[in-house]
Chains A and B, each alone.
Chain A
Amino acid sequence: MALNTYTAGPDERGHFGPYGGRYVSETLMPLILEVEAEYRKAVKDPAFLAEMDELLRQYVGRPSPLYFAERLTEHLGGAKIYLKREDLNHTGAHKINHAIGQILLARRMGKTRIIAETGAGQHGVATATVCARFGMECEVFMGAVDIERQKPNVFRMNLMGAKVHPVTSGSSTLKDAMNEALRDWVTNVHNTFYLIGTVAGPHPYPMMVRDFQSVIGREAREQCLAQEGRLPDTLVACVGGGSNAIGLFHPFLDDPDVEAVAVEASGFGLDTDKTAASIAGGSPGVLHGNRTYLLQTGEGQIEEAHSISAGLDYPGIGPEHVWLHEQGRVTYASATDDEAVAAFKLLSEVEGIIPALETAHALAHVQTLAPTLPKDHIIVVNLSGRGDKDIFTVADALGADL
């Protein structure tokens, strides 16, 4: 049965249905409560909102265009495709949206030291950027494997004064970086703010990061109304933790005629054990402060995820997505490594836009979806990031020698 609203969550304890919550050690609990209390005050403070808007406009470069991808539309021969150009933001991805919001909150709370985890490095770069802008100490935890495949972003972070800690525990990727960040936070709880890079973690993070990212959907809604005179029919976004997807979808969730499709990374394929698709292949569990779907063994040990894209290489997903999935409001599809690389090439060739490998998963879905739809069907794809950081990975996948 359809609900009256899909935007009322979470409840006061941070739950989206049974998901979300605050599964953290007691040492962190008082701080988590303080973050929430301060966040609720901040979003009612006109000065806080005005400063955030000004930074989004002058520093990030918002609003980002809603670009009609004419050649891609022609090439696929079906639905009309628009790209929400988050790749044109300062730092080249949507991550800066929540980094600005969180750093303003950290400063408001009197914190002087910022920590973050990062997978692809986009969130790490966004965090290092806002820390440089606000003169805060910045330490980023990054899996040793990811450091290897995202060297340019590591250098960017270093340039902006951030310290990047290689994480070698577990599978040396995003989930392990998040464990390390939590370990640091619990040790430096008095002066440190954890700037989380997705709509996961303990409440209020999934709500707070979603709110900061919802600027994407609010803009897309206005732009689509202005450019097409109506709302889009289908929204498509890639989903790892799920920040860009929820950012685009949330302002449309109560429009029953707008369909939303999130695309998970299925790695080598859903029928293999090399995947990162938690909705398709996961089960309910608790990790990193929230209850959600996880890739795990029968004994409840977390499994290593796999995706060619470092930013989607995580064995969980934000709790609100799981709730939206169970409610049937958002459809969760998937794309493999190979499909993503093919879409990466296609957009580069027909539009002159090199997308992030994460984003390429959304485009891969559009590649199969658009040709099946009529020409007056409007698809809005969240072009969540640019792909310059991925050229080495893609060259490797294509057998090219750089």
Chain B
Amino acid sequence: MSRLTDRFITLKAEGRAAFIPFITGGDPDYATSLDILKGLPDAGADIIELGMPFSDPSADGPAIDQASQRAIKAGGGLTKTLDMVTEFRAGDSTTPIVLMGYFNPLLRYGIDAFCAAAAKAGVDGLIIVDLPPEEDAELKGPLEKAGLHLIRLATPTSNGERLARIAKGASGFLYYVAVAGITGQKSAEASDIGAAVARIRAVTDIPVAVGFGIKTPEAAAGVARVADAAVVGSAIVGEIAARLDENGTPRLNLAQEVLDFVASLAKGVKGARA
């Protein structure tokens, strides 16, 4: 059993959805980002999505793009992101962590070497946004060998045939991108999300997480009523950005204030089916 599978089984027994907050590894700097990461489970994170900084995140909106740029400027990248996971695991062996990013840094690191290093650090799965099923074969083998989940994405444009194909190779959970677009912009209607999740459940038993455009505790609660997990990214990253001074230096209580916001989102998810 994997940490990820265990977590979904436990939550199912509790009758509630998972809350998955996202932050970019090393944003705005290593120490602050690690403080936030370590505080996420107590703030109510059931699973953590950690972004691997990339210079050209063409599927992300301004919030996550700028988070990547801040992290890179502060020396962040794949190696530092894995270091963060290692440090996190020293104090938490149960909260699953999935890494989200783009293929190029991974390719540069070396696929086999990266999968082995990620497993060693305590990563549970990978989401690579620019690797559709047509191209992910070369990652699949090494991931499986390392015992990591390949978390695939489905979108509003994935038609029936594709959906079945995507679900077939997915593991851990399926990430449903609620809107056709980039992160942190438009929000989908709750009814559309419900219908999409139903379509996915018709082809797979794997848990369905929903992300993109979820910005408030209310919206997160809405998703938690119909899906197995709600992902919030840009809104959290935006809270980080809002607490940097003009030189990009974090204000005194940044980590705690961001974690307070995360806790409010978690509360939304946890109370959703009450």
Residue ranges of A at the interface with B (Cβ–Cβ < 8 Å)? 13, 21-31, 169-170, 175-176, 178-179, 182-183, 186-187, 189-190, 283-289, 294, 296, 298-302
Please tell me if B217 contacts chain A, counting CB pairs below 8 Å.
Answer: no
The answer on a CB contact under 8 Å between A302 and B104 is: yes
Supposing A30-B157, A30-B159, A294-B104 touch, asked if A25 and B129 sit within 8 A by C-beta, the answer is: yes
The answer on a CB contact under 8 Å between A183 and B157 is: no
Cα separation A22 to B56 with both chains bound (whole Å): 17
B162 partner, pick from A28, A30, A170, beta carbons under 8 A: A30
Supposing A187-B181, A300-B107 touch, asked if A27 and B157 sit within 8 A by C-beta, the answer is: yes
19 cross-chain CB contacts under 8 A: A23-B132, A23-B135, A25-B129, A25-B130, A25-B155, A26-B133, A26-B152, A26-B166, A27-B177, A27-B180, A31-B157, A186-B182, A187-B182, A190-B180, A283-B108, A289-B130, A299-B77, A300-B106, A302-B56
Supposing A22-B134, A25-B130, A169-B65 touch, asked if A301 and B162 sit within 8 A by C-beta, the answer is: no
A29 partner, pick from B57, B60, B72, B134, beta carbons under 8 A: B134
Cα separation A288 to B156 with both chains bound (whole Å): 21
Cα separation A189 to B105 with both chains bound (whole Å): 27
Cα separation A287 to B106 with both chains bound (whole Å): 12
The answer on a CB contact under 8 Å between A300 and B78 is: yes
Cα separation A298 to B158 with both chains bound (whole Å): 35
- Write the chain A residue with the least CB distance to B75: A299
Least CB distance, B203 to chain A, in whole angstroms: 15
**Chain B residues near A31 (CB, 8 Å)?**
157
The answer on a CB contact under 8 Å between A24 and B181 is: no
Supposing A29-B162, A187-B182, A285-B107 touch, asked if A299 and B58 sit within 8 A by C-beta, the answer is: no
**Chain A residues near B103 (CB, 8 Å)?**
23, 286
Cα separation A29 to B54 with both chains bound (whole Å): 21
B58 partner, pick from A13, A21, A179, A283, beta carbons under 8 A: A179
The answer on a CB contact under 8 Å between B156 and A27 is: yes
A22 partner, pick from B79, B135, B155, B158, beta carbons under 8 A: B135
The answer on a CB contact under 8 Å between A301 and B54 is: yes
Encode B42-78 as 1/0 by CB contact (under 8 A) with A: 0000000000011111111110010001001000011
- Write the chain A residue with the least CB distance to B177: A27
A187 partner, pick from B129, B152, B153, B186, beta carbons under 8 A: B186
The answer on a CB contact under 8 Å between B104 and A24 is: no
The answer on a CB contact under 8 Å between B105 and A21 is: no
Cα separation A19 to B26 with both chains bound (whole Å): 31
Known: A26-B153, A286-B104, A299-B108. 11 other contacts (CB 8 A): A25-B153, A26-B133, A27-B59, A27-B156, A27-B157, A31-B157, A187-B180, A285-B108, A287-B56, A287-B104, A288-B58
Least CB distance, B193 to chain A, in whole angstroms: 15
Please tell me if B99 contacts chain A, counting CB pairs below 8 Å.
Answer: no
Least CB distance, B17 to chain A, in whole angstroms: 22
**Chain B residues near A301 (CB, 8 Å)?**
53-55, 72, 77, 105
**Which residues 142-166 of B sit at the A interface, judged by CB distance below 8 A?**
152-159, 162, 166
Least CB distance, B97 to chain A, in whole angstroms: 20
**Chain B residues near A298 (CB, 8 Å)?**
108
The answer on a CB contact under 8 Å between A29 and B58 is: no
- Write the chain A residue with the least CB distance to B57: A179
**Most-contacted residue by chain B among A23, A27, A28, A170 (CB, 10 A):** A27
Supposing A29-B134, A179-B56, A189-B180 touch, asked if A300 and B108 sit within 8 A by C-beta, the answer is: yes
Supposing A187-B180, A300-B106, A301-B72 touch, asked if A29 and B132 sit within 8 A by C-beta, the answer is: yes
Encode B159-184 as 1/0 by CB contact (under 8 A) with A: 10010001000000000010011100
Please tell me if B131 contacts chain A, counting CB pairs below 8 Å.
Answer: yes
**Chain B residues near A189 (CB, 8 Å)?**
157, 180
The answer on a CB contact under 8 Å between B177 and A299 is: no
Cα separation A170 to B53 with both chains bound (whole Å): 13
Please tell me if B5 contacts chain A, counting CB pairs below 8 Å.
Answer: no
Least CB distance, B47 to chain A, in whole angstroms: 20
The answer on a CB contact under 8 Å between B155 and A26 is: yes
A296 partner, pick from B104, B106, B180, beta carbons under 8 A: B104
**Chain B residues near A182 (CB, 8 Å)?**
58-59
Cα separation A300 to B79 with both chains bound (whole Å): 11
Cα separation A288 to B181 with both chains bound (whole Å): 16
Supposing A21-B135, A26-B153, A286-B130 touch, asked if A300 and B77 sit within 8 A by C-beta, the answer is: yes
Please tell me if B185 contacts chain A, counting CB pairs below 8 Å.
Answer: yes
